Amino acid sequence: MTMDERSVPAPRVCWYGDDFTGATDTLAEVARAGLRGLLFLGVPTPAQLRRAGPLDAIGIAGAARGMAPAEMDAELDAVGRFAAASGVRVLHYKCCSTFDSAPHVGSIGAAVRTLRRHMPNPLVPIVGGQPSIGRYCSFAQLFARAGSAPEIHRIDRHPIMSQHPVTPMHEADLRLHLAAQGLSGIRSVPHIDYPRAADASTLDGWINHLIETADGPALLDVVDDAQLAVIGRLLWRAAQRAPLLAVGPSSVQQALARAAPQESAGQSQAAALGRADGPVLVVAGSLSPVTARQIAACEHYVRQPLQVERLRTDAEYASAQAQLAAATLAQGRNVLAHTDRPSGALNAQDTAATARATGRLVSNIVRASAQAGRRLSRIGIAGGDTSSQATLALGLWGLSFRCVLAPGVAVSVARSDDPLTDGIELMLKGGQMGGDRLFDELAAGGA
């Protein structure tokens, strides 16, 4: 390490997103806190870090949510080694706010086992909710809203997550759900025990007791946004003693920001997204009913249905679909390409293969459009696995924050060594996120 490298302050926070859509949502929270942050699409190289400049927060977008435990261990061990070497105080394993995972795929328990090797703090806080997007944890039980609908469901009765095609949520008690993934002995910290944030002496005593008696994972209830300040103070205090691994959705970053706003770098507020300069491509690989409503509601796109099984297995069909979309975009019209629901039951292997095929399609459309004389400047991708694979297929190395289009839906700016993709405005959206008119808002501008 050179003297110049040693003179650069260590980032305060590092986060790893278990899929790309969630990682960009966390990037938005980092930017809202005024921190200098960049999301890298893999453990950053020294050259990429030099190009990024000084950073307060470093994000790493991954795809652990769709991996088996052995594959997760290999990926996350490299993340943990990077975080430890960079000197961060908090390493945030950003999981989905609905905690959908299983022992055989996307195991949060496997992630914790790997990352704890690099973060020596005995406390592993698990932040159980994110009220800003309708996620609540009360007495260790998880509740969630479905899309933008107002009704709140216990997660094992949720109309979408209880029927997830790969990781259905059949257990609402997060202690039991995570114990099945090998994360046993979780301590529940109920919200009725939280002191008021304004009562500093009582709060400090409560925090010190939690830290001094910590011996593993602790599940922190969240039922109200105001409780995040209490949680954030706990996280920072624990991290002062030893580097800390924290688990949870983007509310981990919200909590950290509420507890230490005076330390922010003071970035300016992002400007609202204007009307797209040219046609917009949206590719929807999500099977969520929320995404289905968004597809049905949009008025400013040419819809292009995609047959999943042919897209996955027929190269000529996939190439023809890319050329069709590029031809429509070359005419100046927006395109919404969306997968159908395949016949028969889904399995993890077919789901992963479909995501890879859809990701390749996005890249092929971008390049075919450029050959037809139309460089795309704004793209939307719906579906966590599809977003991950498409971003990789585009050959990006990083994403910077552009704006928030809807709660849980961020627009980022692509960082790439390829002039064709560098600077593209990219919306990555999880299946449940956004209102019915989200795709039209992406084209017309909003938020």
* pLDDT of the residue at 442: 95
Q: For residues 437 and 439, give the distance between their C-alpha atoms in angstroms, rounded to a whole number.
A: 6
Asked if residues 279 and 425 have their Cβ atoms less than 8 Å apart, the reply is: no
CA 93 from chain centre, in angstroms, equals 10
What is the pLDDT of the chain when averaged over all its residues? 90
Q: Residue 261 pLDDT > 60, yes or no?
A: no
Q: Under CATH, which number does the domain 281-444 receive? A: 3.40.980.20
* pLDDT of the residue at 342: 63
Residues 6 or more apart whose CB falls under 8 angstroms from that of 61 comprise: 17, 19, 20, 23, 24, 39, 40, 41, 42, 388, 391, 399
| Maximal C-alpha separation, the chain | 68
Q: For residues 342 and 352, give the distance between their C-alpha atoms in angstroms, rounded to a whole number.
A: 13
The 10 Å CB-count burial string (b at 16+, else e) for 89-108 is bbbbbbbbbbbbbbeebbbb
Greatest mean pLDDT among 143-152, 168-177, 378-387 = 168-177
Asked if residues 291 and 438 have their Cβ atoms less than 8 Å apart, the reply is: no
Domain 3-263 and domain 281-444, same fold? Reply is no
Give residue limits of the domains in the chain: 3-263, 281-444
* pLDDT of the residue at 54: 92
Q: For residues 37 and 55, give the distance between their C-alpha atoms in angstroms, rounded to a whole number.
A: 6
Q: What is the pLDDT of residues 156-210, one digit of tens each?
A: 999 999 988 789 999 999 999 999 999 999 999 999 999 987 788 899 999 999 9
Q: Could you tell me the pTM of the whole model?
A: 0.84
Tokens 């706003």 -> residue: 261
Q: Residue 6 pLDDT > 70, yes or no?
A: no
Does domain 3-263 correspond to CATH entry 3.40.50.10840? yes
* pLDDT of the residue at 347: 64
Q: What is the CA radius of gyration of the chain?
A: 21
What does the pLDDT average to over 256-280? 74
* pLDDT of the residue at 3: 33
Q: Residue 328 pLDDT > 70, yes or no?
A: yes
**Of the ranges 5-9, 31-35, 51-55, 93-97, which one carries the lowest mean pLDDT score?**
5-9
